[in-house]
Amino acid sequence: MARKKPLYGNADEIEAAFYDAICRADIITLMSLWAEDEEIVCIHPGAPRLFGHAAIRESWEKIFAAGGLHLRATRVHQTHNMLSAMHNVIEVATTTPTAGDSPRVDEGDVHILATNVYAKTAQGWRIVAHHASFAPGTPAPEPERSALLH
């Protein structure tokens, strides 16, 4: 029971909890956000796909052991219905600075795109897919239309 987290009421809440858990290197919370389904998929930028809790957990543990990530989801575009939501975001990443290092901000030569897919389950909203990848250059400016829609 101790590992049960509060029900997340919508995809926005679970997305916020996801990036917050990454920033805090909180593997327990991070893994509790995923659906209880061995077909859940996680793709880190430039890496092979990973399925299921064990492989996904191991990948994040390695990231956290290497110093962690400060990741923020920006410029969210989404489609949703009552049972699912697809968010496409630009991840702004700053690795945790270590002695003397400058934070590395992933905006410049490349940026990171992520498609996050959420589903409403008996346990509340959960992550079913996180697919992140590199795109060239700086993100294109958002059209005015999007600013109005969100």
Strands 84-95 and 69-80: antiparallel
Among residues 12, 86, 92, 123, the one that binds a second copy under rule CB under 8 A: 86
Whether residue 103 contacts residue 97, with contact meaning beta carbons closer than 8 Å, is answered with: yes
Query: What residues from 22 to 41 belong to the interface with a second copy (CB under 8 A)?
Result: 35, 37-41
**Residue 48 interacts with a second copy (CB under 8 A)?**
yes
Which is closer to a second copy, CB of 27 or CB of 128? 128
Considering only CA atoms, which of 28, 25, 102 is closest in space to residue 65? 25
If the CB atoms of residues 5 and 80 are measured against a second copy, the closer one turns out to be: 80
Contact by Cβ (8 Å): 81, 101: no
CA distance readout (Å), 129 to 11, 15, 20, 143: 12, 11, 17, 27
Residue 49 touching a second copy (CB under 8 A): yes
Nearer to a second copy, 25 or 73 (CB): 73
Q: Is 123 in the site for a second copy (CB under 8 A)?
A: no
Interaction between residue 136 and a second copy (CB under 8 A): yes
